[in-house]
Structure 1
Amino acid sequence: MSMMEWAKREVEIASKRERGDKPESEWDYGCACYDSALKAFESLCGDGHSGFSIGITKGILNRLIDGKPLTPIEDIEDVWNVCSRGENGGVVTYQCKRMSSLFKDVYPDGTVKYHDNDRYYCTKWDDPNLCWHNGFIGRIYNEMFPLTMPYMPSNKSDVIVCDELLTDRKNGDFDTLAVLSIQRSNGEKVEVNRYFKEGEKSFIEISPEEYEERKKMHEKRQEQEAKAQDEN
């Protein structure tokens, strides 16, 4: 059995399971994805790839699908579009044409900083499936690991492990923030252990001791809310 015959058989089995009891004439999203993957595989097989070269091609295709460049990005005029002309304190912001998640900020004093929104994401220490981006945490991350040119983004994002507390319900979703560690894409784990509370304009760094006190306030609030809910 050839690789193509094997692939067709696998897609047939998977599509049958995906479709279930629905009639063949009815369009199915999952089956359409299987068919699309089979077309791509057939194209690769038709090009005469070996197991080694098809792996290389797969890596290239994955980067294109993820919107990542195939060669390093350099800071030249042709790769940037202006997206903000100094409205933010005189900072001019540019977006990269080759990678939409990459930005360049040029400050009035000539300082240049880069940030890639896909270079990291945040997750909770007790719920790794919960992921988000946070501008404040992003600035801390970029200070620790400045992005420099030429830039070739990793296939994986760095993971910033955080915790969020809410000491008072009137403060919204959270009013206390912990940046615990960063799992780098290269496998390195960097301990951070920095703690912040909400201030009038932004978050203010606090000591580990104050963070622990606020954690107790958070837990007490949870207990009181749970008790009130039970009484109702």
Structure 2
Amino acid sequence: MSLREWAQREVALACKREKPDRKEGEFDYGCACYESALKAFNSLLEDGHSGMSIGYTKQILNRLIDGKPLTPIEDTKGTWEYVHTNTKKGCRVYQCKRMSSLFKDVYPDGTVKYHDNDRIICAETNSPDVYFTNNFISRIVEETIGEITMPYFPEGKPIKVFVREFLVDPKFGDYDTLGIHYLNHDGKKIQIGRYFKETESGFEEITIDEYLSRAEKMVKS
């Protein structure tokens, strides 16, 4: 059996399991995805890929699917598009034309800051499979791993940060206490251990003792 025949049989079995009663010509979203993947696989075979070359091509395809550039991004003319002026931060905001999640802030004194909305994702320690993004947490994490500099070549997978949020004072809404515990980066676990509480003027860093005291109050309440 050829590789092409094997793949075709696997997709047929998957589609049958996805929708056993599917009639010929009937559209099914799950089956359409399997069949689309088969088209891409057959295209690779037609180009003569196998072994190492198909693996290398897969890496390239995965980056394109994920919206990540194939070569490093540089801060050159024509790479950025003006979006708006952030009056609160006092800077002009530009979006990268090559990567929609990448932005740069340009301040009047010439300072430039870059931020990638997809670089860092967060998860609660008690719900590690549910991810979200948080700009404040991302800024704290970058104090540990470093800010984005040019040229920039984003990693294939985002950096995962594990945190715990809870509420002590109901007037602050959903949560007013934050513990940023550790992150996973390049397969390594890096401890952060920074803790914050919300005040009338924003988040303020606190000691681990105060964090644990607030956690105890939350449990009792």
Shift, 1:141, TM fit? 1.8
Structure 1's unaligned 5+ residue stretches are 222-232
Does the alignment pair 1:130 with 2:130?
A: yes
The normalised TM-score by structure 2 is 0.95
Deviation at 1:66, TM superposition (A): 0.1
**What residue in structure 2 maps to residue 226 of structure 1?**
none
Identify if the C-alpha distance between structure 1 residues 86 and 174 changes in structure 2 by more than 3 Å, giving closer, same or farther.
Answer: closer
* Structure with the higher helix share, 1 or 2: 1
Q: Which shows bigger deviation, 69-78 or 108-117?
A: 108-117
Moved over 4 A (4+): none
1:201 positional shift: 2.8
The residue type paired with residue 105 of structure 1 is D
The alpha carbon displacement at 1:167 in A equals 1.1
| Identity, % of aligned positions | 55
Q: Report how many residues are paired.
A: 220
Q: Distance in 2 between matches of 1:108 and 1:205?
A: 29
User: Partner of 1:39 in structure 2?
Assistant: 39
Determine the structure 1 residue equivalent to 2:170: 169
2: CA distance between counterparts of 1:89 and 1:29?
A: 44
Q: Give the secondary structure class of the aligned counterpart of 1:61.
A: helix
| Alignment-derived partner of residue 158 in structure 1 | 159
Q: How big is each residue's C-alpha offset from its partner over 1:138-194, in whole Å with a ceiling of 9 and x where there is no partner?
A: 11122332111101110011111100111133422111000011111x122221111
Match of residue 76 from structure 2: 76
In the other structure, the counterpart of 1:64 is: 64
The CA distance in 1 between the partners of 2:28 and 2:151, in whole Å, is 43
In the TM superposition, what whole-angstrom CA distance separates every residue of 1:170-223 from its partner, at most 9, and x where no partner exists? 422111000011111x122221111100111311111111111110111112xx
Aligned Cα RMSD in Å? 1.3
Pairwise mapping of residues 203-214 of structure 1 onto structure 2 (< 5 A)?
203-214=203-214
Match of 1:200 in 2: 200
Q: In the aligned structure 2, how far is the partner of 1:29 from the partner of 1:52?
A: 32
Query: Residues 102 and 115 of structure 1 are in contact (CA less than 8 Å); yes or no, is this contact kept in structure 2?
Result: yes
Extract unaligned runs of 5+ from structure 2. Answer: none
Q: Give the SS at the match of 2:218.
A: helix
Tell me the residue number matched to 1:8.
8
Which 10-residue stretch deviates more, 86-95 or 142-151? Answer: 86-95
Q: What residue in structure 2 maps to residue 98 of structure 1?
A: 98
- Please tell me the residue identity of whatever aligns with 1:114: Y
**How far does residue 25 in structure 1 lie from its aligned partner after superposition?**
4.1
Partners of 1:22 and 1:218 lie apart in 2 by: 53
The answer as to whether partners of 1:115 and 1:142 remain within 8 angstroms in 2 is: no
Summarize the Cα distance change of 1:27–1:218 in structure 2 as closer, same or farther, 3 Å threshold: same
